[in-house]
Structure 1
Amino acid sequence: MVSFLIPFTIIKINVTDSIQAQTPQQRRANEKFAKSEAAKRGRGPTVAKPKQSKSPVSTGWLVVLAFVVCGGLILELFRIVPQIWDTLASMLTRITG
C-alpha cells in the first residue's frame, strides 16, 4: 500500500489491486515480441545483395558452339594444308629445277 500526502487529504492507493497477472497467452506474446525486438537491435540496416550477372548462354552450349566452330576450322585446315604444301613444293621445284 502506498500513501500520498496532499495538503488536507490523504490518498491511499493499493498497488496490488491495479496489477493483474498475465495469462499464459499474453506471456508468450510478450516473450515473442521481446525476442523480435532484441533481434532487430542487433541488426544493422538491411542491404540488398548485388546480383551476379549471368551469361544469357549456358556453359554447356558455349562448349558445343566452340566444338562446332573449332572442329570445323580444324577440318578445313586439314583439307587446305596439303594443297598449300603441294603449291609450295611445285614452286620450289620450278625455282631449283
Structure 2
Amino acid sequence: MAQTPQQRRANLKFQKEQEARMGKSEDQIKKRAKDAPKSPISPLWLVLLAFVVFGGLFFEVISRIFFR
C-alpha cells in the first residue's frame, strides 16, 4: 500500500522529532517542551477579531465626523 502525501508529511515530521531527541536525556526533552507555550487562539482568529472590533470603531468615528 502506497503512502498518501499526508501520511508522508506526518512520517517526515515524526522522523525529524525523533532525530532531534537522539542523545538527549528525558529531562532535556521535557524542559524543551515546557519552554514553548502555545496560544489557545490562532493568529488568524486574533486578526479577524481585531478587524471586526477596530474596523467597526473606525467606521463609527468616520460616520460621526462626516454625517452628524
**TM-score with structure 1 length normalisation?**
0.36
Which structure has the bigger radius of gyration? 1
**TM-score with structure 2 length normalisation?**
0.49
Q: Which has the higher helix share?
A: 2
